[in-house]
Structure 1
Amino acid sequence: MEYFSEFHPTDIAVLVIWGAIFLTFIIKLFQSICLVPTKSAYVVERLGKYHKTLDAGFHALFPFIDRVAYIQDLKEETIDVPPQECFSKDEVNVEVDGVIYISVIEPIKSSYGIVDYRFAAMQLAQTTTRSIIGTLDLDRTFEERDVISAKVVEVLDKAGEAWGIRVHRYEIKNITPPQTVRLAMEMQVNAERERRAILAKSEGDKQSVINRSEGIKRETINISEGEKQRRINAAEGKASEILSLAKATAESIKKVANVINQDGGQKALEMQLSEQYLEQMKGLGKEGRKVILPANLLDYGHWMKTMGLNSDKS
């Protein structure tokens, strides 16, 4: 207490001020050392004016002159687009929400080109989605999600050039129509399924009838072809039989003629014919038939003449 009593109150105040100044200088000195993480960018201002952009690594700034004004994350990030009501071309109110995938490519523009690029991108995506859905019928909004997403990305990319961002893609998560419209769509889908089932069944019945008629047709053709071939084969067999019989008869007649022309042949032939004549005469009186007989049963000379034979030659 005796040591501090030697100092004047003014001296104590001066020491406190210098101590505060020194402490502030030490704090600013430590703050001037920047360790920038990977995929990050620090925007540095010198005396309130843009000075430079710090990439990943170690950097040292001038205390009291330089300061880090903005810290930008260069990684790709997702921004949810809240649900909004849109009217389709056929005046149906639908609720649409989505998600945007963006990344900062120019930290200077994203820091000084716009106040909040995330909010701006979300608002622009909503307005663009409303305008595009307004040109489409309700059914096409479900079918052309890719077209809607591509147009939104195109519009955001043009605006993103001034904001220092790149819009990689925009995806529509849900398109929700009113409950009445959903019920009508479900009924339409069910009706379409029933129509397809009936059409498929009718096509099946039609094909079955065609297949059955084709089978009957082929069976009839096969039967007719078989009958035709059978008749051809029978005719050919009969013709072959007749031809063989004719050849045998001709050969027999030829042999008989050769025998007749030989010595005693005529006499042998007459004897054979006489035997056949007598054999036929045995059965003339059977079964109550009336028969007119010649006066002389042994007179077969006339019969021989009718056969072209002359018994006098013997």
Structure 2
Amino acid sequence: MLWTTILVIIVLSYFVLTRLFQIVEMREEVIQERLGKYKKTLKPGFHFLIPFVDRPAYSQEMREQVLDVPSQTCITKDNIEVSVDGLVYLKVMNSHKASYGISDYQAAAVNLAQTTMRSEIGKMTLDDTFSEREKMNENIVREIDKAADPWGIKVMRYEIKNIRPSGEIVDTMERQMEAERAKRAEITNSEGHRQARIYESEGEQQSQVLISEAQRQRRINEAKGRAKEIELVANATAKGLRRVAEAIDKPGGELAVKTKLVEQYIKQFGNIIQNSNVSVLPTETANLKTFFEGVSTISDHTKNPSAKRTRTSNKGEQ
């Protein structure tokens, strides 16, 4: 009997002591109720309770929590089925609301994330779901955070893990990607050929320009050479005429010129007779006196060019 009484006292003492003290860890908060009503929120530390009157009703994790959002089937705007899963990151900001505002805020957050994800996927085409994943994450966080405010929780971020189309769609996408790669390769090749033709045309054009420029320069040089040649011939002719005139003015010069002209005449006339089957003789050549008189007249004009002009002028006055 004594041992039974001692055992009962020990059990009651343990029960009372556990109800008398409450130790709250650093990472959590505890909701204290008194006679079934909310009394206060116990922060981390050591707290006294009234046994059988006060009790720790709820304990809330205050650190950021990561919840897995199970995969679900969604329909895109272009009527393609995709399987989507993700992760939601949330944190309890008000332990009182998290305890009394909803029975299970974690399950509620996951269900709300799935609902919002289906809604966002339905607004986009399949291509947009891959390219605008960040935008979808932001929209889901905003919608969940709006609904979760009465629950005392804050949605920090949402991350889409996988977007998996059906097998048939994947095959179609692979064929489309292959066709796109082939198209790009063809475009690249045609662009290369076009650029090569452009470079070839430009090179040919530059070559023609250089050839034309060279021909133009050659013609200019030839024209300059011919002009120089004409100038030299003219200068030589003028110089020769001046020397002939000077020779005529000297003693015996006139006779020498006449003799030279006669020699050349006879020589050329002999060549004509020798090389031609038919000879045509002017009437003047039958009379050598007429020829020598002509030579004398030429000599006079060469020696004194102004004589003819003087005689012409006198004849006009008469």
The question of a shared fold, defined as TM-score above 0.5 by the shorter chain, is answered with yes
Deviation for aligned residue 1:257: 2.9
Q: What SS does the corresponding residue of 1:154 show, helix, strand or coil? A: helix
CA contact (8 A) 1:36 1:42 kept: no
Determine whether 1:201 maps to 2:189. yes
CA pair 289-171 structure 1, distance change in 2 beyond 3 A = farther
Q: Extract unaligned runs of 5+ from structure 2.
A: 304-318
2:68 corresponds, among 80, 85, 105, to: 80
Q: Extract unaligned runs of 5+ from structure 1.
A: 1-8
CA pair 167-74 structure 1, distance change in 2 beyond 3 A = same
Deviation for aligned residue 1:144: 2.5
> What corresponds to 2:144 in structure 1?
156
> What corresponds to 2:12 in structure 1?
21
Alignment of 1:98-113 (within 5 A): 98-113=86-101
Q: Distance in 2 between matches of 1:176 and 1:72?
A: 36
Per residue, is there more helix in 1 or in 2?
2
> What corresponds to 1:4 in structure 2?
none
> What corresponds to 1:5 in structure 2?
none
Mean alpha-carbon deviation: is it higher for 268-277 or for 134-143?
268-277
Q: Distance in 2 between matches of 1:261 and 1:45?
A: 156
CA pair 165-272 structure 1, distance change in 2 beyond 3 A = farther
CA contact (8 A) 1:75 1:104 kept: yes
Question: Amino acid of the residue matched to residue 309 of structure 1?
Answer: S
2:114 corresponds, among 126, 136, 152, to: 126
Q: Deviations over 1:237-289 (max 9, x none)?
A: 21122123223332333343344345544344334445545665675566566
TM-score by length of 1: 0.79
Aligned-pair identity in percent equals 40
Q: Distance in 1 between matches of 2:273 and 2:95?
A: 141
> What corresponds to 1:6 in structure 2?
none
Determine whether 1:269 maps to 2:257. yes
| RMSD between aligned residues | 3.2
Q: Distance in 1 between matches of 2:149 and 2:198?
A: 66
TM-score by length of 2: 0.78
Q: Distance in 1 between matches of 2:148 and 2:224?
A: 96
Q: Distance in 2 between matches of 1:27 and 1:53?
A: 18
Aligned residues: 298
Q: Deviations over 1:9-43 (max 9, x none)?
A: 5x7766554444334334444xx252522x43333
2:299 corresponds, among 295, 309, 313, to: 309
Determine whether 1:60 maps to 2:47. yes
Determine whether 1:71 maps to 2:62. no
